[in-house]
């Protein structure tokens, strides 16, 4: 598919999703560190289970780098048990808290002040933070324009007929960032709307007849 077609289709998809679902107001958090913790906890987890883990951390007054450093690994794991893989995620949270204290004095403004590429490389150096998690932090906590690619986004893009030649994270991300205005608010809503669509109708076994993208979807054409 040529670039002109992509640059026309991506805004069309966004407007259709917005008309169907409206603003998503994502990420639901009271402050940036909660977003960062949530980005780690949501790895391979349903959001409702992440919410329980975050509520436990808040109740224990443990939702800060300082508090996480004071707690033992088993104590953190017990608080986030609902999110699954809790021992692994406890180590990730403890590693993040240690890193923030060592290099940034727990000051997220110091962390976020750099440009996107530098910030991304710094986050990727932390144990347990991969590309999707790093970009979620950059977009939703630092409010910088980077598009988050997850399994839901890949599924929808592939089905619509916009799959790039490569399966790499970077190439999928470039599809959006090269064809949309570099606006954090737009990227925020677009990604959240794609997640909403994937959970609502574009499931593993899709409900194509209920989808607002059916008239422009290659996959729908094959099942009709």
Residue spans per domain, the chain: 3-25+148-223, 32-141
Q: Model pTM?
A: 0.95
CA atoms within 13 A on the CB side of 50: 18
The pLDDT assigned to 37 comes to: 98
CATH number of 32-141: 1.10.340.30
Q: Can you give the pLDDT at residue 4?
A: 63
CA distance 32 to 112: 10
Report H helices in the chain.
3-21, 32-41, 47-59, 65-70, 73-79, 86-104, 108-112, 116-124, 131-136, 151-160, 169-177, 184-200, 218-223
CATH architecture of 3-25+148-223: Orthogonal Bundle (1.10)
Phi, psi of 220 (to 5 degrees): -60, -35
pLDDT given at position 135: 98
Task: Identify the CA nearest to 79 among candidates 69, 89, 34.
Answer: 89
Tell me what pLDDT residue 1 has: 59
Q: ∠209-212-192 over CA atoms, to 5°?
A: 125
Distance of CA 113 to the CA centre of its chain: 20
Q: Helices 169-177 and 151-160 sit at what angle, rounded to 10 degrees?
A: 70
Instruction: Evaluate whether 3-25+148-223 and 32-141 have a shared fold.
Output: no
Q: What is the pLDDT along the chain (224 residues), one digit of tens a residue?
A: 566 689 999 999 999 999 999 999 999 999 999 999 999 999 999 999 999 999 999 999 999 999 999 999 999 999 999 999 999 999 999 999 999 999 999 999 999 998 999 999 999 999 999 999 999 999 999 999 999 999 999 999 999 999 999 999 999 999 999 999 999 999 999 999 999 999 999 999 999 999 999 999 999 978 76
Q: Provide the pLDDT for residue 3.
A: 66
| Residue located via tokens 């990604």 | 191
Angle value at C-alpha 18, between 13 and 22, nearest 5 degrees: 160
User: Taking Cα atoms as reference points, which of 150, 120, 153 lies closest to residue 134?
Assistant: 120
What local confidence, expressed as pLDDT, does residue 224 receive?
Answer: 62
């Amino acid at each position: 598919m040529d670039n002109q077609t992509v640059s026309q289709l991506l805004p069309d998809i966004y407007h259709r999703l917005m008309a169907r679902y409206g603003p998503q107001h994502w990420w639901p958090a009271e402050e940036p560190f909660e977003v960062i913790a949530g980005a780690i906890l949501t790895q391979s987890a349903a959001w409702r289970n992440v919410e329980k883990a975050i509520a436990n951390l808040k109740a224990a007054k443990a939702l800060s780098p300082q508090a996480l450093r004071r707690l033992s690994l088993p104590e953190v794991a017990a608080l986030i048990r609902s999110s699954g893989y809790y021992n692994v995620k406890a180590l990730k949270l403890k590693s993040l808290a240690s890193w923030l204290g060592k290099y940034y004095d727990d000051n997220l403004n110091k962390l976020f002040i750099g440009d996107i590429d530098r910030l991304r490389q710094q986050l990727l150096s932390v144990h347990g933070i991969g590309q999707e998690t790093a970009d979620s932090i950059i977009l939703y906590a630092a409010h910088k324009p980077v598009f988050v690619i997850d399994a839901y986004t890949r599924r929808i893009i592939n089905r619509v007929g916009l799959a790039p030649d490569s399966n790499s994270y970077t190439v999928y991300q470039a599809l959006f960032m090269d064809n949309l205005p570099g606006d954090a608010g737009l990227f925020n809503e677009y990604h959240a709307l794609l997640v909403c669509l994937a959970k609502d109708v574009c499931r593993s076994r899709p409900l194509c007849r209920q989808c607002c993208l059916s008239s422009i979807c290659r996959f729908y054409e094959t099942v009709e």
